[in-house]
Amino acid sequence: MSKERKMTLTLPKEELMSSGHLACQGCGATLAMRYALKALGQKTILCIPACCWSVIDGPFPHSSLDVPIYHCAFETAASSASGVRAGLDMMGDTETTVMAWGGDGGTFDIGIQALSGAAERNEDLIYACYDNEAYMNTGIQRSSATPLGAWTTTTPVKHYKKERKKDMIGILAAHNIPYLATASIAYPEDMVKKFKKAKDIHGTRFIHIYAPCPTGWKSRPDDTVKLARLAVQTGYFPLYEIENGEKWTLNLKLKERKPITDYLKLQGRFRHLKEEEINLIQAEVEANYQKILKKCGL
């Protein structure tokens, strides 16, 4: 008789997201939600501003999530969540986790004021930003999270984005909030660990999730996880966390980093880039990675 072999499940079994949602094929944001809810569990209330997820969830009267959702105005994820938290507290429910769940436009751009306000007040909430680096829901317009060199419908090929991506983590780190982390859909165990850790901390917690978008990035739907992994492996999107604005920890140390071209070449949004532009991006990635290593004391 052969020995019984057991595989250990590294992620919680509980599924709070069902099929039948309205996401595009290969959507990174759906994986992000699935893992986040696995970590946080049933006792979670979501505030979702205008973003892909306000559509993905499904039209009234349907919802693909098994937790309550308050669909709120575009710039109000953090302020709405602050209110929900206060309301629940007054109702005597201090157990439920309140999570604002916004895209990069709702977080980096229109919602940054409310987010900064909530972070300064150290509101007891998790703010998760699933970053697909442009306004995808409205048809791929540039946001301040769009990286240097990218094509979008408002940064057409000849006039691709000339500005760097906004350093949102840096901005939030300056608010000295108790917990700040980056996460990637290609590293679900790491992501689940971070959400679980965040759940047990009080005060404002921010998790920046890298969530590729095949529709907007002009990439293959089956390359989504690969792209997210390459973003980490090239050092473009390092996995790290910051506690109380001071303690920086690199969660995945890379002995060698892959060249940024490995990541760029799989995406139509970077197809127009010439060698010197790619070299410039490579140098930017390198500088940013070194900066993070230094902060982490490495």
Partner 1 sequence: MKKVIMGNHALSYGAMLARAQVIAAYPITPQTQVVELLSEMCADGTLNAKFIKVESEHSAMAACLGASMAGARTFTATSAQGLALMHEMLHWASGGRMPVVMGDINRAMAPGWSIWTDQNDSLSQRDTGWIQFYCSSNQEVVDTVIQAYKISEKLMIPSMVILDAFALSHTYEVVEIPEQAKVDAYLPPFNPPYRLSSDDPHAFGGLTAPEHYMELRYKLQKDMEKVPALVEETGREYEKTFGRYLGQVENYLCDGAELVFVTSGTAGYTARVVVDELRKQGIKAGNLRIKLFRPFPFEQVRTILSKVPKVAVLDRNISYGHHGVFYQEVKSAIYRQPVQPAIFGFIAGLGGRDIAREDFKEITDYTLKNNRPQEEIIWIGVKK
CA 224 to chain centre: 14
d(CA 28, CA 34): 10
DSSP states along 158-227:
GG---SPPP-HHHHHHTTT-SEEEEEETT-HHHHHHHHHHHHTS-S-EEEEEE---HHHHT--GGGHHHH
DSSP states along 18-63:
-S---PPTT-HHHHHHHHHHHHH-SSEEEEE-SSHHHHHT-STT--
Whichever of 75 and 241 has its CB closer to partner 1, that residue is 75
Whichever of 67 and 173 has its CB closer to partner 1, that residue is 67
Whichever of 50 and 180 has its CB closer to partner 1, that residue is 50
Whichever of 100 and 260 has its CB closer to partner 1, that residue is 100
Whichever of 42 and 290 has its CB closer to partner 1, that residue is 42
User: From the CB of 93, what's the least distance to partner 1, in Å?
Assistant: 8
User: From the CB of 88, what's the least distance to partner 1, in Å?
Assistant: 5
User: From the CB of 25, what's the least distance to partner 1, in Å?
Assistant: 19
- Output the CA–CA distances (angstroms, integers) from residue 48 to 69, 102, 154, 186, 187, in the order listed: 7, 6, 25, 23, 23
Binding site for partner 1 (CB under 8 A): 42-45, 47, 54-55, 57-61, 63, 65-73, 75-76, 78-91, 93, 96, 113-114, 116-117, 120-121
d(CA 281, CA 261): 9
Whichever of 42 and 244 has its CB closer to partner 1, that residue is 42
User: From the CB of 109, what's the least distance to partner 1, in Å?
Assistant: 15
User: From the CB of 173, what's the least distance to partner 1, in Å?
Assistant: 19
User: From the CB of 91, what's the least distance to partner 1, in Å?
Assistant: 5
* 3-state class (DSSP) for residue 104: helix
